[in-house]
Amino acid sequence: MLKRLLAATMGAALLWSASAMAAADMGQFRGKTITYIVSTSPGGGYDTYGRLIAKYLQKYLTGSRVVVRNVPGAGHIVGANTIYAAKPDGLTIGMFNTGLIYDQLIKRQGVLFDLAKFSWIGKAADDTRVLMVSKSAPYKTIGDILKVKTPIKFAAAGVGSAAYNDARILADALHLNVQIVPGFTGNEGEMSMLRNEVVAEVGTAESMEQFVKQGHGFFALALSGNPNALPGVPRARDYVKDERGKRLLTLIETLSEIGRLTAGPPGMPAGVLAAEREALDAAMKDPALIAEAKKLDLDLDPASGALVEARIKAALNQPPETVAALKSAAGG
């Protein structure tokens, strides 16, 4: 009995000290202001995710104040440059589009960062990419699209954007006979489909779900994401025949797996990074955050900073032929 009591007391003491240690780590930001950089203008998906995460990071980084700063420009490049150049004290972190991997691989002008060196804190969601086809188009399956003789039109975002690159890569990997019409932002591509100007668009399942629910389109192909998330939708991987295509598709898959990520500048002290990773993990499990995300219609699929780091490094390790393929895709 005494032994058991002793064991219980020791156990409790250990637990207490462990939690005290964790609390000490989380308390290192007491009285400090953390700037959470969102690489887009206010409004829109990144801003909403960013503000939600910032709000709950503040809750778990005891005594801190987390403020959101919008640093838009050059398709997330300016925001990522800003985070990268910040002092690595954990007081400047933020979010940008994973598609910047493309920009780094093709050594795009303006890229001043190395994604492999960021301090990765975690990610909030999967961005499942899909090919959505208009219901009024004469193509009912991906098989129909693979067989077309004359080029069919796909709507895409601006040349150089992540969404544009996704479309080009898909066309390249599957040898689709398509003409990509760039310059569509927001839901303009869907409007263009309603006007029967274009037949399809590549984008995230989340952003196109409503259009499909309204009966205007259908998911013809899932490029990435959890196979169970979109039951009955064919997988792009099953239609890729060559090695080159497979490599390109793997890149899209990796990118969509690590959506809405949070990163800090390179060289953050281990204790600081650990505390912020822990705070983000805890925030993503917070029932209040989950409830808010549900209200905002935001999908959550969190993962740790360590996993993001591993994925990013793998994605950056591409053979020259993939980089060449990307360059030709991005070249328009």
- Please give the residue ranges that form the binding site for other proteins (CB under 8 A): 41-44, 47-48, 69-75, 77-78, 81, 109-110, 153, 158-160, 164, 179, 181-184, 186-188, 190-192, 194-195, 197-198, 210, 214, 295-297, 330, 332
We find the least distance from the C-beta atom of residue 74 to other proteins, in angstroms, to be: 4
Q: How far is the CB of 183 from other proteins (least distance, A)?
A: 5
Residue 181 or 307 with smaller CB distance to other proteins = 181
What residues are paired with 303 via a beta bridge? 123
Answer for the pair 205, 230: CB distance below 8 angstroms, yes or no.
yes
> 11 or 332: whose CB is closer to other proteins?
332
Work out how close the CB of 188 gets to other proteins at its nearest, in angstroms, rounded to a whole number: 6
| 153 token code pair | 């039109």
Residue 21 or residue 296: which is nearer to other proteins going by CB? 296
Taking the complex as a whole, the smallest distance from the CB of residue 19 to other proteins amounts, in Å, to: 32
Tell me how many degrees the CA angle 189-194-197 measures, rounded to the nearest 5.
70
For residues 324 and 244, the answer to whether their CB atoms sit within 8 Å is no
The residue (of 88 and 182) whose beta carbon lies closer to other proteins is: 182
CA gap 136, 152 in Å, rounded = 14
In whole angstroms, how close is the CB of 133 to other proteins at the nearest point?
A: 17
- Of residues 100 and 303, the one with the C-beta less far from other proteins: 100
SS3 assignment, position 68:
strand
Q: Give, for 95, the enclosing helix (H) or strand (E).
A: strand 92-96
Cβ 214 vs Cβ 190: under 8 Å: no
